[in-house]
């Protein structure tokens, strides 16, 4: 498919996203949380989790599995360092928003705390949540499972989700150091974009149903995706299954897929937050300077920090214009009309 990036006003994109989500049935607060996440991703040119997700969110809602209006509950009584949020079978984002203040408060008072979000449908990029915690001066790790699409190293049948992990490290006076990636060799969103746009997959990211390497997105969707970094990514993916699944009393990717009959997976997300002020004490400036020296040693040799591309994109798009694929923008504009026909 021949497609180009066009410039779209952020205000217009915001209005269209809200219209699509509200018409699909999402409550005002869920529609706002979803819109905020996808506009934030689009602004940073993270296309696989930007405006494109309006299509999958509305389709997911049509399965009848997602509650479009459930108000999440937040409970900090299990243990001082454990906060539980029950998304009540809604999209995860509102649960995070509602629980974050308590996570920040407990992380500061105890030095570290964990937020377990249960019973959520999760479609979004993780870095906005990691970055929000870094903006509070906290170090953060965010993990979630997803749909069982990914084979373990040495196997060829799906066992893991694409299982992303994000990490954020606050940097005084600068944007935080953040990375956020799927533990699959590519995110499912990338595979779906290749499928929509008729592009081949990169080599080495998927196998077909017979277990042979493939670059055909259709064959890969019927076969299995692969983890990044061979057995290392595979082990990391298994860790995320355990941490964001059984540890917080929730589903693995495979269990959730079976439970939801292959429609949309409902599962958990875990967010860990550490207060550097508590860990470092009086020596904080020294240790933060060591962190900065580490970053300098990376960039001084011509390598880039994760998020550097994103932060440049954010700067480029800071004047209220977003870069959107033209075919996607057309499809989104047609969406509310289609429902009126």
Residues that bind ligand NDP in the complex, under the rule CB under 6 A? 46, 48-49, 122-127, 144, 146, 162, 164, 166, 179-182, 186-187, 189-190, 304, 306-310
Q: Report, in Å, the least distance between residue 184 CB and ligand PYC.
A: 7
Maximal C-alpha separation, the chain:
65
Tell which residue, 330, 307, 338, has the closest CA to residue 8: 330
Q: Is 10 part of the annotated catalytic residue set?
A: no
Instruction: Give the C-alpha separation, 179 to 99, whole Å.
Output: 22
Instruction: Note the helical H segments in the chain.
Output: 10-24, 28-43, 53-62, 93-110, 127-134, 188-197, 217-222, 230-244, 253-259, 276-280, 284-299, 308-316, 326-340
- Answer whether 121's CB lies under 8 Å from 264's CB: yes
Stretch touching ligand PYC by CB under 6 A, among 35-43, 57-65, 183-191, 209-217:
183-191
Residue 179 binds which of ligand NDP, ligand PYC, none (CB < 5-8 A, kind-dependent): ligand NDP
Instruction: Give the C-alpha separation, 55 to 95, whole Å.
Output: 22
Residue 309 binds which of ligand PYC, ligand NDP, none (CB < 5-8 A, kind-dependent): ligand NDP
Q: Report, in Å, the least distance between residue 162 CB and ligand PYC.
A: 3
Site for ligand PYC in 163-182 (CB under 6 A): 182
Q: Report, in Å, the least distance between residue 226 CB and ligand NDP.
A: 13
> Among residues 46 and 248, whose Cβ is nearest to ligand PYC?
46
Q: Report, in Å, the least distance between residue 144 CB and ligand NDP.
A: 5
Residue 8 host element (H or E): strand 5-9
Q: Is 48 part of the annotated catalytic residue set?
A: yes
**The pair of three-digit structure tokens given for residue 243, joined into one six-digit string:** 């941490």
- Answer whether 197's CB lies under 8 Å from 156's CB: no
In degrees to the nearest 10, what's the CA dihedral of 17, 19, 20, 26?
A: 100
Q: Is 124 part of the annotated catalytic residue set?
A: no
Residue 58 makes contact with ligand PYC by CB under 6 A: no
Half-sphere exposure of 239 (CA within 13 A, CB side): 13
Residue 48 makes contact with ligand PYC by CB under 6 A: yes
> Among residues 83 and 87, whose Cβ is nearest to ligand PYC?
87
> Among residues 68 and 189, whose Cβ is nearest to ligand PYC?
189
Summarize as ranges the residues that interact with ligand PYC (CB under 6 A): 48, 123, 146, 162, 182, 187-189
Instruction: Give the catalytic positions in this structure.
Output: 48-49, 190
């Amino acid at each position: 498919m021949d497609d180009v990036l066009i410039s779209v006003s952020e205000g217009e994109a915001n209005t269209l996203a809200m219209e699509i989500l509200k018409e699909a049935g999402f409550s005002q607060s869920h529609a706002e949380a979803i819109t905020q996440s996808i506009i934030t991703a689009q602004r940073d040119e993270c296309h696989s989790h930007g405006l494109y997700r309006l299509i999958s969110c509305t389709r997911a809602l049509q399965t009848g599995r997602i509650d479009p209006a459930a108000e999440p509950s937040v409970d900090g009584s299990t243990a001082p360092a454990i906060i539980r949020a029950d998304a009540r079978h809604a999209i995860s984002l509102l649960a995070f928003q509602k629980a974050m203040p308590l996570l920040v408060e407990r992380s500061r008072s105890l030095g570290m705390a964990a937020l377990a979000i249960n019973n959520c449908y999760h479609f979004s990029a993780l870095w906005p949540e990691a970055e929000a915690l870094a903006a509070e001066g906290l170090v953060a790790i965010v993990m979630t499972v997803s749909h069982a699409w990914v084979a373990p190293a040495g196997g060829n049948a799906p066992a893991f989700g694409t299982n992303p992990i994000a990490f954020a490290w606050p940097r005084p006076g600068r944007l935080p150091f953040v990375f956020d990636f799927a533990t699959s060799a590519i995110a499912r969103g990338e595979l779906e974009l290749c499928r929509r746009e008729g592009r081949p997959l990169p080599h080495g990211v998927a196998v077909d149903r017979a277990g042979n390497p493939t670059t055909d997105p259709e064959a890969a969707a019927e076969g299995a995706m692969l983890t990044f970094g061979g057995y290392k990514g595979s082990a990391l993916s298994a860790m995320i299954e355990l941490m964001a699944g059984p540890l917080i009393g929730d589903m693995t990717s495979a269990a959730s897929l079976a439970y939801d009959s292959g429609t949309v997976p409902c599962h958990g997300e875990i967010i860990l937050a550490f207060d550097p002020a508590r860990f470092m004490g009086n020596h904080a400036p020294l240790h933060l300077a060591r962190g900065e020296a580490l970053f300098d040693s990376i960039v001084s040799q011509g390598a880039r920090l994760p998020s550097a591309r994103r932060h440049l994109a954010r700067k480029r798009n800071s004047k209220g214009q977003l870069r959107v694929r033209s075919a996607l923008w057309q499809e989104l504009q047609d969406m509310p009309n289609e429902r009126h026909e």
